[in-house]
A = this chain, B = another copy of it.
């Protein structure tokens, strides 16, 4: 996962921190340039789409030679995913409230916040670009999706231990159903993507909180309770 899409140059990050602590000869990589490139990438990506973003523009905006970009990233996708990862890491953790419904809907609401922020454009750009660049998609999965999913597993397993969810549940199916509902409205934009929508999705998939039951009793009873036992 490390350096997923980056080039394998001499002075790249992670290359000189071996046990010996020796550095290679020659000028070391400019951390300043690296960050300027990230900054410009994210900045430009908020104005244009993935396909409208050009290395030329990034290099110009970052006051950096085009070759410096190509030296460290093999293509646009690798750079974008790196820039995204470098900026998005610390957010989006799962709470532990003692209720799956609350844990999941809170985290999904956080995620919704990200999608609505300027960084939402970047997520869209990554997924768009990933449709024609498998490595970009891989990077998105490894660097963004997987870390969150690991946490989500824990949240769901806690719910199973508490008895809130059945034991033989396929966690991936649950998570893809929950998050798929978000991604769908985010990517296709055919309907409102609101906190209330998230609550309804969670209710539908996880069973809602007590106060929700009165408003949707029939679905639960009919679709799953009675139907299940009575027929």
Chain A interface residues toward B at CB < 8 A: 48-52, 124-125, 127-133, 137, 140-141, 145, 163-170, 172-174, 176-185, 187-191, 197, 200-201, 204-207, 210, 213, 215-231
Contacts and interface: CB of A to CB of B under 8 A. Distances in A.
A185 B189 contact: no
A221 B216 contact: no
A28 B213 CA distance: 62
A173 to B, nearest CB: 5
Q: Is the interface of A mostly helix, strand, loop or mixed?
A: helix
A131 B225 contact: no
Contact of A207 (B178, B206, B224): B224
A189 B190 CA distance: 22
Contacts of A215: 168
B166 A218 contact: yes
B220 A224 contact: yes
The 9 closest A-B pairs by CB, nearest first: A49-B132, A166-B218, A180-B180, A180-B184, A166-B219, A128-B131, A222-B227, A128-B128, A180-B181
A162 to B, nearest CB: 10
B225 A140 contact: no
B188 A137 contact: yes
